[in-house]
Structure 1
Amino acid sequence: MKVPVISRVGDSLTSRRGARIWAAGIFAVILVLFGALSSVQAPERSASSLVGHSDSAKVAQLIDANTSESKTSALLVASREDGQVLSIDDRATVDHQAEALSDAAKVVAGRTMASEDQQAAMVPLSWNSVSDEADRETLKAIRGWIQEHPSDGLQLQVTGSIAFAVDVTNAFAGADFTLLAVTVGIVAVLLILTYRSPVLWLIPLVVVALADRSASLVANLLGNAFDLHFDSGVLSVLVFGAGTNYALLLISRYRDELQQSDGHRQALSKAWAASFEAILTSNLTVVLALLTLSLAVMEDTRGLGIVCAAGLLIAAIFALFLLPPVLAMAGRKAFWPLIPLPGQEIKKENIFGRAARAVMTRPGLNLAALSVLLLVLASALTGTRIGLDQSQQFRTATESSTAMATLAEHFPAGETQPITVLAQDTDIDALRHGFAGVENVKRVGEASQLGNTQWQQFSVISEVDPSAAEAQGLVADLRDAAASSHAGQVLIGGQSAEQLDSHQMHLRDLYVIAPLIMMICFVMLGWLTRSWRTALALGVVNLLSAAAAVGLGSLVSSVVFEADALDVQVPLLAFVFLVALGVDYTIFLTQRVRQDAQALELHEAVALAASRTGSVITSAGLVLAGVFAALATLPLTVLGQLGLIVGLGVLLDTFVVRTLLLPALFAVLGTAKRPVFGHVSSPAEAAAGPSLQKESNINA
């Protein structure tokens, strides 16, 4: 009989000679990759929050193009450390410090402006802009001079857009190394607890670590080649989480086969063939889901999706083609002291199998109850606000956010960051009069010509904090007022407008990409189950689980991070990771149920599959939840919220959906006249069939 291709590849990977060739070949490729790409620097994080082709971006571009000198500005904020009123001497000290600072840092200091309550003062600082890097260096020089020349009793701080950008960069200084160390530590501890072996845990950890480093180098190459911006910390978390999951699945199947076979190489070959389809399906689902992010308008989302897709492909390649040869060369002794041997008694049923049997006694009722639980958790989304204030972006206080809070407390909210309006081919006086009547508008500035263009420029001062959600609502109201007045071309920009455009485009990306991801999951589940009815049911469960996780995460996030909203990036990224990664466990269990259902009645197949996959899926879920929890070590709220939501979602998938809901669902589907699974066997099943048949007979 002709041997299936997958079986031949498995034999090649695990044979005495083949394992050495595969391992040597892959290690040679790794050395070449490391040598060729180690000098490639990671692309810098994007310093601009502008959305391409948005009104706010057009305003910024027009002003830059029609201003003789490009200026960068910041605000020097002064207040007393004891919170008291600034005295005459204090204000004289501020003037003196501003003058000395302007000479030392080569900046222009404007007139000192005191607040009405006399508890704070601000001094505008400006300088000629050469490049983003030069602006950052100037800002560092300003802050450095202030630290070297303290003012007795006064607190001097610098804020503004450039200050926030520098604080973000400083917040990430060394953070990637910290995140990697925490991630490796979590994975190592969980692998040791899973395998209870002083040796075995090292093998998958080293393989996944090599995959992570390779993925980082390839990501740097892609980032520089295609001008992609991404967070390398999220990439490492994904590679470690998914790569470890693949390794856990393969080694778990390998352990089972070792209890059936005398030869460890034959057992590993069978385990590889039996696991190949589940790992491939899982990986392709996540990769394709991440690639849909390339359709995003927001460049940070687009870049992250592309490099993470490449990283997960690399993780699967290492798990499928490097891990087996290394395991083959290590042999059965790698499991010491709990070495699996042929003839060992196999537990007929563990707690996961008993849980599956329990919910299948009354599957309809249990399925309905669990679905209601998920719906209740998902309903928390109805009260979730999207969009953090600028001061909430950091989990810990920074100089820029503290100074901005001081300004908001003591100065009229909109004075520090006015809304900029450009208009042409319109009655400018009528437009200004109309804007003055819009709610939350404090006053409208005088109009002036922008350079030599036909554009007229004026400012709108709001009564609300320009970084708050109400300011975005004001920008929307101003745009509506301009549209309803049949004015000519009117563009509205400034910080509040930039935040609104970013918010709207992130939601646009969510509405466009989320359905595509669900379609991908549906197709992959259909291919795995060979039944579109079953695939649709599993897809709905996956969607409901993701919604429940985001709802639960939003509630917990409001307590943990003291934020009353989710960052605009969180919903889409959380949805992608929850749906694409959450479907992994559905795939792992479903593939095993389908294989065992070839020889057993459906209820028995589900209970057996739950017993056989329970430990590995639980371990994989804990690893994935743990590595995403490591994102909480980073200083940005968006990453903390993302890690929290995805971590909770993975645990929900692991202990509720996979353990209880899916067995009940399979039982309900099995009561219908149509089969739960199609009857097409894959090559992997054909290769693993005899072993599975023997295992089923033992456990029946």
Structure 2
Amino acid sequence: MIRSCAKRYGAFVSGRKGRWITLFIWIVLILVLNGLLPQANSQKNERADIFVQETDSSKANEIINREFSTNKGTPALLTWYKASRLSDDDLASIQVLTKKLTDQPIKGTIVPPFHDIPLPVLKNQVSKDGTTLVLPIVFDKNLETQEISTRLGELKKTAKSIFPKDPFTASLKDEKNVVVRVTGPAGVSVDATELFSRGDLSLLIGTVTIVLLFLLIIYRSPILALIPLVGVGMAYMLISPILGWLGREGIIEFDAQAISIMTVLLFGAGTDYCLFIIAQFRKNLREEEDKFTAIRRAFSLSSGAIFMSGLTVVVSLLVLLVANYGSVHRFAIPFSLAILIMMAASLSLIPALLSILGRSSFYPFVPRTDEMAVKLAVKKGKEVKTRKNKANLGVYVGKLVSFKPWRVMLTTLVILGIFALFSTKIETTYDTLSSFPQDMPSREGFDILSKKFNPGELAPVSVIVKRNGSEGNLKEKLENLPFVAEVTDAVKGEKDSTFIKYEIGLKMNPYSNEAMAHIPELKKEVQSYIKQSGGDERNVWIGGMTAEQYDTSQTTKVDSSLVIPLVIGLIAILLLLYLRSITATVYLIGTVLLSYFSALGLGWIILHYGFGVEAIQGFIPLYAFVFIVALGEDYNIFMISSIWRKSKEMPLKRAIKEGVSETGGVITSAGIILAATFTVLTTLPIQILVHFGTITAIGILLDTFIVRPFLVPALTSIFGQGAFWPSKKRMEAVRVFNDKEVTRNG
């Protein structure tokens, strides 16, 4: 029933009338949705919650926003610096700036009145070496990052009119002029948004260019190279307004990072799906004179694998909805929607376009049947040449894995196993600033402050307690902790005076793993003291950036323990339904998991030992897992589909040999293109994406060149008939074909 419906559907979208109807439907949908709905880029939210569910740090920040008005808003630390010491004139100019900003305030900003502070007193706030002064400015908490950036732009114009040289663009090495860099939460947020925004266009151009280049090299046809890009482009024109509408209605949230990675995923995976049907169409055109028959056969042979591959990725990405870490959670809908629509395009728009263009899709290397080639040669008065079946690399690989499977399996396991061992050496960090280029203003400002002041002052840790009796001398207790540099006086809550807040400056970089490791110890010490003082130990909360990073690390661990088993389980169910084999399902998942750990290990070897990377962002392994496992399983599904189909007509070893040979070219092409698109991420000045792109690209290449052509078919050959267990019909078919082969050879 399902196959019959699929055949009729394939015949329609590629038929004489259906192809035009299909194209017309896509064009109408694109025009209507783009005319009525906003684009995804207009609905990005760079200030979305860090966590989906409440954590200790998010609860602390909620209390701070409610009870302590001085902490309301997003602070920016304007770091004024002069290598040859700040002069009285420099400080006076800064006072003129604060006077102007007070007299002509920028909407949504609070500027401290430095102009009302006597110059000798202001000098006391300068660093000991006289080079650095911090001017904190607080932006309204409701302002989006883009609005903060706009207001910073107004501030910069005002400063430019006061100082002889623009302090925001002056070099840190300039000893004659004052330099200022914006850091702190607002500065980091603005720089992060700028980095991703700056990378959006270059990422799109780079991705399109590299896909087009590889398609031209592989197929040597300008028309064919454009077909996948047209398909992906039209799919994106549907995805963008749908995402824009979902964002506008508050159904989902997404940021620039999600859109950037989604673009790469769409072009990479989308091109793969297109190539699966294009390769089959070209093969059929050499056997069928009628292009409609050729495209129908191509659709029939590839649609199941495309649908299954796409469904595997969609389901895997939807699992991210269970994640509590906001960034990971927000990937789920945009990514799965992109793959779903791209899969739909591959099964409707692409067959329609191929049917319309026919053999001209492959111009100038037009595929023809032998009869057509003979007729054309006679017509042109050329010598008729018979087509020879040349043995390609796929044929040799197919023979190798079929007749020497144990040797192949052991060799690949050793190679992948060695790489996988290095995955245990990976160091992780949750420091956002460390992922910025060294010349970014927020990072330069932080580097100056960390050298000139106690680094803990840059991002103090907030300790909040709710009194239920006497909390005793908690400040003294906190000051005696070995990792604490200073503690502010207690501040009472404005609405509920039972809330008490202390600000703690740590002795180390507050963004470091060392600082993060002290958060549970700090909370334990405070809880113990509160309990001894007769209070309720449950009424203790730790807030601030360091606490957020600690919660991020713990949340990511929990997310991984949920997401990874769910992805594996759901993929196993889909494979089991598709292949009807427990044996094949187990070893296919096993090989992709091995590929994942090998990618982590090899990625760490390249990043750490090759480029000196000290640590990667802690959530990258989870990101990489979903992409490597889901996308890597695509190639296994496509190849195994070919082997399974051929095993109905020939002995298993021959089916393996021909299946590997038949799919080798297209999967290799698809894998190279997909890996290349993720490699584009490494060209961006964002270390998170550089590390993620490197590891994911490596995983895809390992799948393409080791797991898919060697390990999987070798295991299939070793298991033999057991590879189909418990499918009795297929196992019986294999026995029959093996018996026939033995009889014929005998």
TM-score w.r.t. structure 1 length? 0.91
- Rate the CA distance shift 1:299–1:674 in 2: closer, same or farther, 3 A: closer
Counting aligned pairs with the same residue, the percent is 29
1:284-295, aligned counterparts within 5 Å?
284-295=311-322
Q: Which amino acid aligns with 2:445?
A: A
* Distance (Å, rounded) in 2 between the aligned partners of 1:127 and 1:538: 53
Paired position in structure 2 for 1:463: 507
Displaced runs of 4 or more, over 6 A: none
1:678 match: 727
Report the secondary structure of 1:564's partner residue.
coil
Match of 2:383 in 1: none
Give the drift of 1:185. Answer: 0.9
Residue in 2 that maps onto 1:108? 112
Gaps of 5+ in 1: 682-700
TM-aligned CA distance change 1:262 to 1:61, over 3 Å: same
Q: What are the residue-to-residue correspondences of 1:609-620 with 2, within 5 Å? A: 609-620=659-670
AA matched with 2:63: L
Which residue is equivalent to 2:180? 156
Matched, 1:588 2:632: no
Which runs of structure 2 are paired with 1:8-157 in the superposition (5 Å)? 8-38=8-38, 42-47=42-47, 50-51=50-51, 52-68=53-69, 70-80=72-82, 83-86=83-86, 90-91=90-91, 94-95=94-95, 97-100=97-100, 102-103=102-103, 105-106=105-106, 107-110=111-114, 111=122, 113-126=125-138, 131-132=143-144, 135-148=148-161, 149=163, 150=165, 152-157=176-181
Distance across 1 between alignment mates of 2:113 and 2:2: 83
Aligned counterpart in structure 1 of residue 264 of structure 2, from 237, 242, 248:
237
Q: Report the CA distance between 1:571 and its aligned residue.
A: 1.6
1:259 equivalent to 2:309? Answer no
CA displacement 1:543-587 (0-9 Å, x = unmatched): 110111122223323367653111133121111111001111111
Match of 1:389 in 2: 431
Asked if structure 2 preserves the Cα contact closer than 8 Å seen for 1:333 and 1:339, the reply is yes
**Structure 2: gaps spanning 5 or more residues:** 115-121, 168-175, 371-385, 731-746
Change (3 A) 1:37 1:89: closer
Question: Where does 1:161-560 land on structure 2 (aligned, <5 Å)?
Answer: 161-225=185-249, 226-230=251-255, 231-343=258-370, 345=387, 347=389, 349-424=391-466, 425=468, 427-429=470-472, 431-453=474-496, 454-485=498-529, 486=531, 488=537, 489-558=539-608
Distance across 1 between alignment mates of 2:311 and 2:192: 34
Question: Aligned to 1:153, what secondary structure does the other structure show?
Answer: coil
CA distance in 1 between partners of 2:670 and 2:160 (Å): 48
Residue-by-residue CA offset, 1:582-602 (whole Å, 9 max, x unaligned): 111111111111111112222
Q: Matched residues in 2 for 1:18 and 1:123: separation?
A: 67
CA 126–203 in structure 1, closer or farther in 2 if over 3 Å, else same: closer
Cα distance in 1 for residues equivalent to 2:266 and 2:723 = 39
Residue 633 of structure 1, CA deviation: 3.7
Q: Which has the larger radius of gyration?
A: 2
1:358 partner letter: L
Counterpart residue number, 1:598: 648
CA deviation after TM superposition for structure 1 residue 76, in Å: 2.1
Larger relative contact order, structure 1 or 2 (CA cutoff 8 Å, min sep 6):
1
How far does residue 680 in structure 1 lie from its aligned partner after superposition?
6.1
Q: Which moved more, 1:243-252 or 1:118-127?
A: 118-127
Q: 2:284 is matched by which residue type in structure 1?
A: E
SS in structure 1 at match of 2:224:
coil
Task: Report if aligned partners of 1:377, 1:548 keep a CA contact under 8 Å in 2.
Answer: yes
Structure 2: how far apart are the matches of 1:134 and 1:21?
45
Question: What is the total number of aligned residue pairs between the two structures?
Answer: 679
For residues 600-639 of structure 1, what are the structure 2 equivalents within 5 Å? 600-639=650-689
- SS of the residue 2:592 aligns to: helix
Closer, same or farther: CA 606–426 of 1 in aligned 2, 3 Å: farther
Question: CA 1:32–1:499 in 2, change beyond 3 Å: closer, same or farther?
Answer: same
* Cα distance in 1 between the residues matched to 2:27 and 2:610: 43
The alpha-carbon distance between structure 1 residues 222 and 118, as it changes in their structure 2 partners (threshold 3 A), is same
Deviation sequence 1:658-687 (CA, Å, 0-9, x none): 1221122112211x6564683668xxxxxx
For 1:493 and 1:524, locate their aligned partners in 2 and report how far apart those are by CA, in whole Å: 43
Question: 1:393 offset after TM fit, Å?
Answer: 2.4
Single out whichever of 357-366 and 485-494 deviates more from structure 2. 357-366
Q: Distance in 2 between matches of 1:253 and 1:330?
A: 15
Contact 2:73 2:138 in 1 (8 A): yes
Deviations 1:44-87 (A, max 9, x none): 2332564341122122211221245644432221222xx34445
- Verify the 8 A CA contact 1:178 1:633 in the aligned structure 2: no
What secondary structure sits across from 2:17 in the alignment?
helix
- Separation in structure 1 between the aligned mates of residue 94 and residue 13 of structure 2, nearest angstrom: 72
CA distance in 2, matches of 1:586, 1:228: 33
How far apart, in 1, do the equivalents of 2:401 and 2:2 lie? Answer: 42
Listed one character per residue, the Cα deviations across residues 469-489 of structure 1 (whole Å, up to 9, x for unaligned) are: 111112121123234454521
Following the alignment from structure 2 to structure 1, what is the Cα–Cα distance between the partners of residues 526 and 410? 51
> How far is 1:270 from its partner?
0.8
Question: Secondary structure of 1:158's match?
Answer: strand
**Do the aligned residues in 2 keep the contact of 1:229 with 1:303 (CA within 8 Å)?**
yes
